[in-house]
Structure 1
Amino acid sequence: MNTPNPPKRFSMIREFHLADWFTLGNAFCGVGALFSVMSYLETGDILHIHFACALVLAALVFDVLDGRIARWRQKSSAMGRELDSLADVISFGVAPAIIAYGCGMQGLYDRIVLAYFVACGVSRLARYNVTAETLSEGTGKVKYFEGTPIPTSIVLVGLLAVAGAMGAVREHLWFGKVLIGGFTLHPLVLLFAASGSLMISRIKIPKF
């Protein structure tokens, strides 16, 4: 009687495609941005905020390249898709929120809004992962996004980079602050609330 062969052991390195290494570059830049914000909070040197914003931009470049490389080589995998989502959460969800925190959006309401923004990004990516096959209509290619893609947070990061260059951080943040029930809200943080809400909306964005 023949015994069935044991299932082949999963090898993460062998399963990696070229595009996946670019995805890891995306995550690497996102984590680097977090470290840069920590350095800013410790030293007060605004250069670290600029580094953080530049690293998010670099993450976007890696994010664009990994998709193009996957299509060029016609190689993709479920693991690659999961890697892409996890990297995007770090670079375009957590990193922009932490940059905003470092720039001075540190009130209680600010933190709630920034946490909401990250949660929306996570939810947006999860929805895409479970609906991509349906949205592709059997063609294997998604024709449109539901909700704005999480990398659009680069617009907010660019805005914070400009604020940093103009010295409009911490107590000099644009639009100042308001006290509600004894807790602080910086109106600028509402841009993150709007961005998060657009990510989880049903608005259709063509995918090119």
Structure 2
Amino acid sequence: MTARTLAVVSAGLSQPSSTRLLADQLAAATRDELVRRGDTVEVRSVELREHAHDIVNHLLTGFPSPALREVLDAVTGADGLIAVTPIFNASYNGLFKSFFDLVEKDALADRPVLAAATGGTARHSLALEHALRPMFAYLRAVVVPTTVFAAPEDWSGGTADGALRRRVERAGAELADQVHRRAASTGPTDPFALTGSFEDLLSGLRRDA
């Protein structure tokens, strides 16, 4: 039995939010599949609206608040990531993009990601392929084949309809498969950590002298 961590980032601006609702259902599907495979799962949900001011301040100053640093570490240190945004003007919203602009280079390299989105019309679903998938590819993450888009007509009484539920389950199973086959994450990389002993570093300096 392997302990896994799953970070779930949602960028909805309203409360309650269909974006958060979709994120929770994707997390549940992924968690259930990992448990079925014998793993234990800790889910860390992040609503970016709660950190909006800290995100802007970090963009302006280059320094995260302690709370935002904790969130960034949770996301980059997780075994798998679910990222869900509402679609505005045919792309992810500004809060979503601003957060991932703060992720350090290579911090998501080889990390399994499930990308999903919500929008007012099904026509926005193409944003998953022309906006979200390329962004995560640039970050060198591994985006699972199935992305999930939910329009208003996909919800019935606050729950996913049959077609959406099947997409959620398929995407969750794909993310669980990617997470399960990898070694458990050791947490976020410390950019200031030494890659060798002081003796090794000093001997290298002596050789260069």
Structures share fold, TM-score greater than 0.5: no
Query: Could you say which structure has the higher strand fraction?
Result: 2
TM, length-normalised to structure 1: 0.29
Greater Rg over alpha carbons, structure: 1
Query: Could you say which structure has the higher helix fraction?
Result: 1
TM, length-normalised to structure 2: 0.28
